[in-house]
Structure 1
Amino acid sequence: MARPTTALLDVDSIVDAALHITDATGDFTVKQLASKLRVHPSSLYHHVTGRDEVIDRMRARIGRTIDSSGFGTDPWDEALIRLAWSYRAAFAQHPGSIRLFATSRVRDRESLSEYERIAEGLHDAGFDWPEVLPIIIAFDNFILGSALDMGSGGNLYTPDRRAHPALTAAVGDPEEQPDPTDVAFELGLSALLVGLRARLADR
């Protein structure tokens, strides 16, 4: 039998399959990945070293759509705003995968280079080095949580009008409200920035 003229498996197809599985189930195994691609698990190791590398490549794939270009050119807070909205949009495309990324170490060179740019930008803005990582983690947690919230529609509350009159008033008529996920994200992002600006102003 003649060999196929094109490769049946490559890194991109492996990453595609891993994202598809993880978006649906929240995680993946090498066995599941091989089954999805209809190959033997050993075939995957001709292209990747293992599950960890696949996760790294998945994160890098999503990270390429995140805009961190404002750091080094724009004021630090404007750069954070641009980063936050694009970061949220990128991970909102893969809400099922967020838990995996949130609990996996960041090791791939592309993602670490982006975090390097952010860390340098925050330090240049006046934040001390011990503050920089907590700021990055706070933004990561807030943004990934909001990306998950987008999948829910942003309103998980179903109060009883008599028992919960205040919450009922706050929820209002969902049909007449703007997108609650965007409103909540803008409010939270603004609060984080106000707090960070205040830290700098106190110095």
Structure 2
Amino acid sequence: MNHRIPLVQWSLGELVVVVTVATVVVGSLWAPMIFFQLAMILLMLIASILVVILCIGSGYLRTFCIGFASAVGVYLLALILVESPYGIFVAEDVRLPTTTIWAKMQPHITQIRAGSYPRSSVNKELIWQDDSTLKDVDGNHYGAVRNLDLIKSPIIGQQYIDFAPSLNVFYAIGQSVWLLTLGYLGGKFAVGFQRFQHNQETSPTTVE
């Protein structure tokens, strides 16, 4: 009897790990900076474990790590070429589609306040307009956000603008989410493809 291996499978333990990592990483957007730093340490720990398995592991787990690393490597290369200061497109202010999608989510989850130096508890909440400009309730223009970069208005003078989460944290978490998502999908694809090959090799051939 021929036993075909399912191309895609999920275990309860796998789902628990995925949900836990996603919760920690995305949850660090609104948490104190120490939690963001812990989330980054968690990502580095995951990367280290995957590299170890990639080097000395075997079976489907190693295949998953190969697919994960391949997808992450391709994305990081694209990110460096397009968005890094050392890339080839940075002068044209080009962004990856993943960055653009993440940036469109920013106005819906970010709280923005402006105030004067020295900093005090007295500040104004800014409203994110549809054209990406920042204004207070009186209609004063404070600048704009383009591709996760703040462009301040010259009329605000010695005033600061606070983002919660900050622009840097939002960008770092966004890229981390994309890396984990694409890496996970790449790993699942690699395992599924290997199982597909196994099914093809073990399937009975019809002799006429």
Same fold? TM cut 0.5: no
Counting helix residues as a fraction of each chain, which structure ranks higher?
Answer: 1
TM-score by length of 2: 0.25
Counting strand residues as a fraction of each chain, which structure ranks higher?
Answer: 2
The structure having more radius of gyration, on CA atoms, is 2
